[in-house]
């Protein structure tokens, strides 16, 4: 009897490993469309959901629960900057873009102030930045920030959370590495999306992305996000990115090329918290644009939903009301460090 049970289990496991088509694991999970950010074309493919996140030894978050006032810098790391926005201004080494009433006392994680920006349509942008000269050279960089979305906030094609960007001497962008959010059609939950995109990295530029799991983003509450980024050595697969929500590892990619042949380690990299929102309307009959797609990313082309005061051109892509809701997004208690 014992022998029979063992054989049965082995056979069962083998059928689970070999007999299940890989594509069936991803059934029903729409893939974010590629090439959204600078127009690099790419096929729309369906990503295979990663396994549940497990924190290997050494992958624990470094600043869980910490703020500029209450923090413990790990050995070997140095602070680039901390920002709690209590002064109501920022030094020349920092900046805020897209927040028309950025400094506010309406809501704060700690203290009395934060910064906020209003998202009202495709292309809306709100970000806090640390300029390249203040960041300097690094082997690894770590960003911790607290974020609050108003409860009605929803996710569509993409929304930047943390971005690392380096420019060429002529001011054009050489490479960006982004911790992004993909959604679908007005989704409450968001998916982790690492985007790596560069111009001048060869024919067609450089495009690589990694699709992580979708989970609750925590609208209506303060949420801590931490990202640990080690850029790759030029043209070597030795970089990693790890993202944590409230101290829990949510997605990790290692032994990869994120920045291609662009050298991030020698400086010139700008660090950004927040950024661009993208909302597309997908059509089945490009360029006529009269037949709405029923699936996220499906069809032959898209247009942009530029004004959320108006009903969506394709109401089925903006459930349940036919609109994309406008919302405020808040940042507070940011820590940037490197080693």
Per domain, the residue ranges of the chain are: 84-278+324-339, 280-319
- Whole-model pTM: value is 0.82
3-class secondary structure for the chain? CHHHHHHHHHHHHHHHHHCCCHHHHHCCCCCCCCCCCCCCCCCCCCCCCCCCCCCCCCCCCCCCCCCCCCCCCCCCCEEEEEECCCCCCCCCCEEEECCCCCEECCCCCCCCCEEEEEECCCCCEEEEEECHHHHCCCCCEEEEEEEEECCCCCECCEEEEEEEEEECCCCCEEEEEEEEEECCCCECCEEEEEEEEECCCCCCCEEEEEEEEEECCCCCCEEEEEEEEECCCCCCCCEEEEEEECCEEEEEEEEECCCCCCCCCCCCEEEEEEEEEECEEEECCCCCCCCECCCCCCCCEEEECCCCCCCCCCHHHCCCCCCCCCEEEEEEEEEEEEC
Mean pLDDT on 289-304? 94
Mean pLDDT on 257-282? 95
pLDDT band, residue 12 (cuts 50/70/90): very low
pLDDT band, residue 203 (cuts 50/70/90): low
Mean pLDDT on 128-144? 98
Pick one of 1.10.3370.10, 3.40.50.970, 2.60.120.260, 2.60.120.200 as the CATH number of 84-278+324-339: 2.60.120.200
**What's CA 106's distance to the chain center, in Å?**
26
pLDDT given for residue 13 in this prediction:
39
User: 169-190: per-residue pLDDT in tens?
Assistant: 888 889 999 999 999 999 999 9
User: 13-41: per-residue pLDDT in tens?
Assistant: 343 434 434 333 333 444 444 444 433 33
Main-chain dihedrals φ then ψ at residue 155, nearest 5 degrees:
-110, 140
User: Which is nearest to 261 in space by CA: 236, 231, 234?
Assistant: 234
Q: Is 188 exposed, middle or buried (0-12, 13-18, 19+ CB in 10 A)?
A: middle
Q: With 80 as the cut, is the pLDDT of residue 199 above it?
A: no
Whole-number percent of the chain with pLDDT over 90: 74
């Amino acid at each position: 009897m014992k022998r029979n049970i063992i054989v049965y289990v082995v056979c069962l496991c083998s059928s689970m490993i070999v007999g299940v088509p890989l594509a069936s694991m991803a059934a029903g999970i729409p893939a974010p469309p590629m090439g959204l950010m600078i127009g690099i074309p790419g096929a729309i493919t369906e990503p295979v959901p990663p396994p549940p996140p497990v924190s290997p030894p050494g992958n624990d978050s470094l600043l869980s629960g910490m703020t500029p006032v209450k923090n413990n810098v790990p050995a070997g790391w140095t602070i680039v900057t901390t920002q709690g926005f209590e002064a109501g201004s920022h030094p020349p080494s920092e900046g805020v873009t897209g927040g028309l009433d950025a400094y506010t006392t309406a809501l704060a994680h700690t203290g009395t102030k934060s910064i906020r920006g209003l998202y009202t349509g495709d292309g809306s942008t709100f970000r806090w930045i640390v300029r390249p000269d203040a960041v300097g050279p690094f082997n690894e960089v770590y960003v911790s920030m607290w974020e609050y979305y108003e409860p009605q906030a929803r996710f569509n094609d993409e929304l930047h959370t943390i971005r690392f960007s380096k420019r060429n001497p002529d001011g054009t962008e050489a490479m960006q590495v982004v911790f992004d959010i993909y959604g679908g059609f007005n989704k409450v939950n968001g998916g982790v999306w690492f985007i790596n995109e560069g111009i001048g990295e060869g024919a067609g530029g450089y495009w690589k992305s990694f699709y992580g799991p979708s989970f609750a983003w925590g609208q209506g509450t303060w949420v801590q996000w931490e990202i640990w980024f080690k850029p790759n050595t030029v043209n070597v697969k030795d970089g990693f990115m790890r993202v944590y929500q409230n101290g829990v590892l949510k997605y990790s990619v290692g032994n990869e090329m994120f920045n291609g042949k662009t050298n991030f380690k020698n400086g010139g990299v700008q660090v950004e918290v927040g950024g661009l929102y993208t909302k597309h309307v997908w059509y089945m009959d490009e360029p006529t644009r009269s037949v709405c797609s029923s699936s996220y990313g499906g069809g032959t082309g898209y247009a942009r939903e530029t004004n959320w005061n108006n009903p969506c051109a394709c109401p089925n892509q903006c459930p349940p009301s036919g609109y994309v809701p406008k919302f405020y997004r808040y940042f507070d208690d940011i820590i940037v460090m490197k080693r």
